[in-house]
């Protein structure tokens, strides 16, 4: 009898331990629960990153200043990318067509992680295939790394040296509301309906 009771107490203790472990695991989860957003909501909003790069006209582009007060969608990619980058951009263009109010008050900023092949002209013609208002930025290797660090994404990595090398890069679009804060990110696989749900909500978050 004693040993049976001991066994059931042990089992209970094990369950409690497990529950405690799960509880602490949930606390480490960087993503908030019960989100009103379809995108991935950050538990702690992120400040809009501060970096300066060069746009496709060759002009200096101060990311914070140039996107001030705008709903801003920031993405790091490269134009030789056939699968992930074009899908994100085509989706954003399609969503902007459905939401003209959002389109008027939003900026899409595409930062290349492949400055050797993505010349300003190459960037411009590639972005124009989606939307002429999308902004393309490039810079020195060091400036591009600094921009990625500021944005808190993993740093892109060139994979090999052949002419058709690929570049590993962050796959998520970072969104910043007009108030200058990032509340959500959008991993690859985000659907148009999810963008349509979130962008009007984010547009309302202003400092006014």
Distance in Å, CB of 123 to other proteins, minimum: 9
- Rounded to a whole number of angstroms, the minimum distance from the CB of residue 192 to other proteins is 6
**Side-chain-facing half-sphere of 4: CA atoms under 13 Å:** 1
Give the integer Cα–Cα distance in Å for 56 and 40.
30
Question: Is 207 a binder of other proteins (CB under 8 A)?
Answer: no
89 binds other proteins (CB under 8 A): yes
CA distances from 149 to 29, 69, 129, 159, 163 (A): 21, 22, 28, 19, 27
Secondary structure string (H, E, C) spanning 3-65: HHHHHHHHHHHHHHHHHHHHHHHHHHCCECCCCCCCCEEEEEEEECCCCEEEECCCCEEEHHH
Residue span 160-199 as binding mask against other proteins, x where in contact by CB under 8 A, dash where not: ----x-x-xxxx----------------xxxxxxx-----
Contacts of 137 (CB under 8 A, 6+ apart): 53, 54, 55, 56, 61, 63, 109, 110, 111, 112, 147
Q: Does 146 bind other proteins (CB under 8 A)?
A: no
Contact between 156 and other proteins per CB under 8 A: yes
Among 82, 100, 132, 208, binds other proteins (CB under 8 A): 82
Pick from 208, 206, 4, 193: which is nearest to 105 by CA? 206
Residue 183 or 186 with smaller CB distance to other proteins? 186
Per-residue binding string, other proteins, 9-38, x by CB under 8 A, is ------------------------------
> Smallest distance, Å, CB 191 to other proteins?
4
Q: In the stretch 98-137, what mask flags binding to other proteins with x, by CB under 8 A? A: ------------------------x--xx--xx-------
Tokens 């006209």 belong to residue: 57
CB of 198 to other proteins, least distance (A): 14
d(CA 81, CA 120): 16
Q: Is 73 in the site for other proteins (CB under 8 A)?
A: no
Chain residues that interact with other proteins, rule: CB under 8 A: 79-84, 86-87, 89-91, 93-94, 122, 125-126, 129-130, 153-154, 156-157, 159, 164, 166, 168-171, 188-194
């Amino acid at each position: 009898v004693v040993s049976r009771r001991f066994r059931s107490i042990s089992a209970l203790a094990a369950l409690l331990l497990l529950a405690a472990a799960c509880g602490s695991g949930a606390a480490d989860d960087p993503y908030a629960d019960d989100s009103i957003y379809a995108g991935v909501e950050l538990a702690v909003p992120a400040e809009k990153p501060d970096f300066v790069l060069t746009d496709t006209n060759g002009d200096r582009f101060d990311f914070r200043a140039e996107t001030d007060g705008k709903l801003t969608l920031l993405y790091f990619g490269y134009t030789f990318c056939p699968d992930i980058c074009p899908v994100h951009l085509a989706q954003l263009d399609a969503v902007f067509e459905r939401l003209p109010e959002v389109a008027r008050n939003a900026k899409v900023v595409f930062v290349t992680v492949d400055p050797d092949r993505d010349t300003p002209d190459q960037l411009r013609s590639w972005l124009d295939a989606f939307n002429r208002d999308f902004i393309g930025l490039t810079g020195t290797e060091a400036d591009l790394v600094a921009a990625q660090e500021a944005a808190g994404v993993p740093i892109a990595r060139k994979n090999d040296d052949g002419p058709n090398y690929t570049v590993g890069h962050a796959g998520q679009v970072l969104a910043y509301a007009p108030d200058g804060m990032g509340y959500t990110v959008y991993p690859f696989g985000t659907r148009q309906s999810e963008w349509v749900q979130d962008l009007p909500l984010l547009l309302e978050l202003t400092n006014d």
